[in-house]
Amino acid sequence: MKRKILFGLTTVFFVLMLAGTFFHQKIDSLFRIKVQLAAIETGSEYVSFLGTIDGKETELMREEQFLLLPEQAVRDNMVYVVEHVTEPYGSYDVVTLRMVQTAVTTDGKVKITAGLSESENVAAVYDDSLYDGMRIVVEGQR
């Protein structure tokens, strides 16, 4: 009798573990905070600076690249970068708090001059319920 109960409990345990490996993303989406990704725009502008050519100081121009993020995604020069982590037992998304250099804010967009690349994903809204390294669920497609 004890063997049958032990066998039954062991079977239930392994069935639940197997179901968890197949449905872990669906199960995670029930309990994790849902985050949307921000649309990152690129921009550039010409900036003048003083340079020396043939011993004479002259005004020169150079092109500077920058990124634009929605104002809600940035707070105190910090953003939440969304990273996809793959491990042997599954994959998930986490947010990492990152410091960026910002410039002016115009039309609801913040100019990011350093600390972020165009290929990275950023949470659309800086949320106080998020913390560094927290597992999240990304809403929508990448």
As a whole number, mean pLDDT of residues 97-103 equals 92
| 3-class DSSP state of 7 | helix
Q: CA torsion sign, 49 to 53 to 58 to 60?
A: negative
Considering the chain, what percentage of its residues have pLDDT values greater than 90?
32
| Polymer length of the chain | 142
Distance CA 120, CA 101 (A): 15
In this structure, are residues 141 and 37 in contact, taking their beta carbons and an 8 Å threshold? Answer: no
DSSP category for residue 118: T
As a whole number, mean pLDDT of residues 52-64 equals 86
pLDDT of 117 strictly over 70: yes
As a whole number, mean pLDDT of residues 108-127 equals 91
pLDDT of residue 18: 80
pLDDT of 106 strictly over 90: no
